[in-house]
Amino acid sequence: MNAGTTIGAGVPAARTVRLGTRGSALAVAQSTQVARALAAASRRIGADLEVELVQIRTRGDVDATPLTRLGGVGVFAAALREALLAGVCDLAVHSCKDLPTAAVPGLRMAAVPAREDPRDALCTADGRTLADLPRGARVGTGSPRRGAQLLAVRPDLEVVPVRGNVPTRLSRVVGAVVGADGPLGAVREPDLDAVVLALAGLRRLGLDGYATQPLALPQTEIAGTGVVDPADPAPIMVPAPAQGALALETRDEAGAGADPSGVAAGVEPLVSGAGRDPGLAAALAAALAELDDPVTHAAVAAERALMRRLEAGCAAPVGAVAVPAPRADGSSGLRLDAVVAAADGTRLLRESAVGDQAEPAGLGEAVAEALLSAGAAQLVDLHASLPDRGRREAP
Catalytic one of 89, 96, 123, 314: 314
Rounded Cα–Cα distance for residues 189 and 176 (Å): 8
Question: What length is written for the chain?
Answer: 395
Rounded Cα–Cα distance for residues 363 and 379 (Å): 22
Three-state SS for 235? coil
Catalytic one of 18, 81, 146, 204: 146
Q: Under a CB-based contact definition with an 8 Å cutoff, are residues 392 and 326 in contact?
A: no
Catalytic one of 22, 97, 172, 335: 97
List residues bridging with 215 in a β-sheet.
120
Catalytic status, residue 304: no
Helix (H) or strand (E) holding 303: helix 294-310
Q: Which of 11-49 are b and which e, b meaning 16 or more Cβ less than 10 Å from the residue's Cβ? A: eeebbebbbbbbbbbbbbbbbbebbebbbebbeeeebbb
Catalytic one of 90, 98, 120, 337: 98
Helix (H) or strand (E) holding 194: strand 194-198
CA dist list (Å): 151 to 26, 98, 127, 349: 28, 24, 20, 14
Catalytic one of 22, 169, 251, 304: 169
Catalytic status, residue 145: yes
Helix (H) or strand (E) holding 221: none
- How many Cβ atoms are within 10 Å of 377's Cβ, its own excluded? 15
Catalytic status, residue 123: no
Give residue 232's region: left, alpha or beta (phi > 0; psi -120 to 50): beta
Catalytic status, residue 146: yes
DSSP letter at 224 equals G
Catalytic one of 18, 115, 119, 145: 145
- How many Cβ atoms are within 10 Å of 136's Cβ, its own excluded? 10
Three-state SS for 366? helix
Catalytic one of 163, 276, 350, 389: 163
**Residues forming the active site:** 97-98, 145-146, 163, 169, 314
